[in-house]
Amino acid sequence: MSTSFEARFSTTRLSLSDLLTRVEAALPDCGLRFFGAITRLESDNGWPTVAGLDFAAVDSLADAAKAAATWWGLGIECVSDVLLAGMGRSDAVEVYLNVFRDPEGRLTMSYLESGATADHRVASEDAAKSLVAIQIALCDAGHFELSIYDEQDHEREPVPTLRNAEVAIRRAASDLSAGDLSVVVSSSAIDHARARHLAGPRAAEVKLCANGYTVFPFLSHAGA
């Protein structure tokens, strides 16, 4: 089975229509292009899974919100311009946004890409920065408190918590050979002082964003 990596996001109070409208406006900042293909998602123990092999065509994400109004979740296919420039034309440049509901009915989202893409981000500073930019832009657009990017693992909960973020940060900080992790979290939840404490020997890598997010860009291996 091929390895996938994903950025999971916390929940939002936005409606589906408002969320998708704001996400669509943020896509240029993410370096992503949407060409109108969406698919219906169903829950598999809370994780989104494709309901069928057919994609529906819409003109915009605003139209997607109308088409998916009664769905549990929808998958949105995009093309990454950064990956296209760095990896050439391949399946790796196709990435997916999954919007779905948690057990309480609140909307959450995930951004999914291949393991080969994750390897490219570790090797390329531009590609790594682009992943962080995606997390920041989508957190801001969706009013998400946090996002965690790492290897996909269906043994855990699909919606990340602040505790999950802190554990992941501490793990990466304690093992300088660890990588493949990028965490974006509201600075109201983890301020700069606490962020540096959590990051320990990797404190110098912690970044602050003007729009109110703290970033732990631990994609590369600090000990490498």
Q: Does residue 88 fall inside a structural domain? A: yes
**Domain membership of residue 189 as a residue range:** 4-218
Which pLDDT belongs to residue 223? 52
Which pLDDT belongs to residue 221? 64
Which pLDDT belongs to residue 1? 42
Going through the chain in order, the beta strands assigned E by DSSP cover: 4-9, 32-44, 47-50, 56-57, 73-80, 94-101, 107-114, 146-151, 181-186, 207-208, 213-218
Q: Does residue 9 fall inside a structural domain? A: yes
Q: Does residue 102 fall inside a structural domain? A: yes
Which pLDDT belongs to residue 51? 83
pTM value? 0.94
Look at the chain and report how many structural domains it folds into: 1
Q: Does residue 224 fall inside a structural domain? A: no
Closest C-alpha to 7, from 188, 121, 134: 134
Q: Does residue 103 fall inside a structural domain? A: yes
Block mean pLDDT (10 aa), the chain, length 224 = 86 98 97 96 95 88 96 96 88 92 97 93 92 97 98 94 96 84 97 95 93 93 57
The token pair at 72 is: 């549990």
Which pLDDT belongs to residue 186? 98
- How many C-beta atoms surround the C-beta of residue 17 within 10 A? 15
The token pair at 149 is: 């990017």
Q: What are phi and psi of 32, to 5 degrees?
A: -115, 145
Q: Does residue 177 fall inside a structural domain? A: yes
Which pLDDT belongs to residue 91? 79
Q: Does residue 77 fall inside a structural domain? A: yes
